[in-house]
Amino acid sequence: MPAVLAVSAACLLAFPGAVPNAVGRLGSLLETFLPWLGLLIPVLLVVARVRRSATALLALLPLAGVWLAQFGAALTAGGAPAYDITVVQHNVSDENGDPEGTARVLRDARPQLIALQELTPSALPAYRAALAPGYPHHAVHGTVGLWSAYPLRDVRPLDIRPPGFGADWNRGLRATAVTPYGEAAVHVVHLPSVRIGPTAGFASGPRDASAALLGEAIAAETLGTVILLGDLNSTVDDRGLAPVTSRLRPAPASFAFSWPAALPLARIDQVLARTATVVDIRPLPTTGSDHLPVAARVRM
C-alpha cells in the first residue's frame, strides 16, 4: 500500500491536469494545494521503515524527485536578483479593525505600488490618511484600490463581473502608472470566492468566469507592460486561472503563502506581469486581515 500511494502521488504531482474538473472541479482543487502532496514523503518514509519495505522505499524516489523538480527551487531561493520597484498586494478584509496598523505594515515594505481589496466605506478614510504621505496618487473603485508613488492616469473600472452578479459588484480597476522606467498598465482585482463543500466540491464557477473576463482585458491592453495585483482566490497552478496565467508571468516558485493568515496554506494573493519580471515574492507580517500581505520585487 505505501508503494502504491507513493507512485500515485508522484503521478498526481507530475500530471495534475489528468484529474478532470467535470466532477466538483477536483482538478482545480488538487492544483490549488499541490505542494502539500510532499507531506506524504516523510509519512510514507516512516511507514516504509517500520514495515522494512524496500519496495516502498524505492517507490518514494520518483515522488521525491518530482516534488523537488517542481518545488525545490523554492527551498534554495537566495538573494533577490536586480529589481527596479517593489509592489505590495493585500486583501485587507472588510472586518479589519486596524486600518492604520495595516497601512503601517504595508508602508514598512517601502513599495512604490500598493493594491488593496475589500475596502469598506468606513475604513477607506483611514487608509487614505495613513498612505497619503508616501503615496500621493491613488484610485479606488468599489472595494479595490491602488496607491502609488508615481502619477496615475487613464484610471477606469475593469469589468470582471461574472454573469448573475449585481451591478454593485465592483472589484476591478485599471490605471496607467507613469514610472521612471516607462508607463505600466496596473490592474487591481479581486476575483469571486470559491467554496469547498461535500456536494458542490470546489465551487469555482464564478471565479473562473471572472478570470476569463480578466484574461480578455489583459489581451486587449494596449500598453506593453502590465502588472496585475490581486486576490485571485487560487494559486497560479489552478487551471481555472489559465486565461490570466497564460498571458502573464508569475513570480518564481515560492512558499510565500498568504491565506489563511493564521495558518497559511496557499498563496492566493498574486503579482503577475507582462514584459516586466516579478523576480521574487514574500509574505509580510500579519495585519488585522485573514490574509497576509505579499510584497514582490519587479524588474521593469
Instruction: Tell me the pLDDT tens digit for each residue of 7-41.
Output: 787 788 788 888 887 667 787 777 878 888 777 78
What's the pLDDT score for residue 217? 98
Among the listed residues 154, 156, 127, the one whose alpha carbon sits nearest the alpha carbon of residue 142: 156
Say which residue the cell 479581486 belongs to: 190
The count of C-alpha atoms lying within 13 angstroms of the C-alpha of 160, restricted to the half-sphere facing its C-beta, is: 34
Q: Which residue has the cell 503601517?
A: 104
Residues of the chain with pLDDT under 70: 22-23, 48, 56, 76-80, 197-201
- Sheet containing strand 152-157, edge to edge, reads 152-157, 172-179, 182-190, 226-231, 269-274
Q: Of 94, 82, 95, nearest to 297 (Cα)? A: 82
Residue 49: per-residue pLDDT: 78
DSSP element (H, E) containing 72 = helix 54-75
Residue with cell 495585483: 229
The three-class DSSP label of residue 214 is: helix
Rg of the chain, C-alpha, whole Å: 20
Query: Are 171 and 116 in contact, with CB atoms under 8 Å apart?
Result: no
Q: Which positions ≥6 away from 226 have C-beta within 8 Å?
A: 184, 185, 186, 187, 218, 248, 273, 274, 275, 276
Closest among 136, 171, 140, 134 to 155, alpha carbons compared: 140
pLDDT in the model for residue 78: 58
Burial of 39 (0-12, 13-18, 19+ CB in 10 A): exposed
Query: 60 Cβ partners below 8 Å, 6+ apart?
Result: 6, 41, 44, 45, 48
pLDDT confidence of residue 201: 61
Residue 85 in 3-state DSSP? Answer: strand
Angle at 130 (CA atoms; ends 127, 133), nearest 5 degrees = 125
Q: Which three cell numbers stand for residue 65?
A: 524527485
Residue 38: per-residue pLDDT: 78
Q: What Cα–Cα distance (Å) separates residue 122 from each residue in 93, 284, 287?
A: 12, 24, 18
> Distance between CA atoms of 108 and 101, rounded to whole angstroms?
11
Q: Kindly provide the residue ranges of all beta strands, DSSP E only, lying in the chain, ordered along the sequence.
A: 85-91, 113-117, 137-141, 144-148, 152-157, 172-179, 182-190, 195-197, 201-203, 226-231, 269-274, 277-283, 294-299
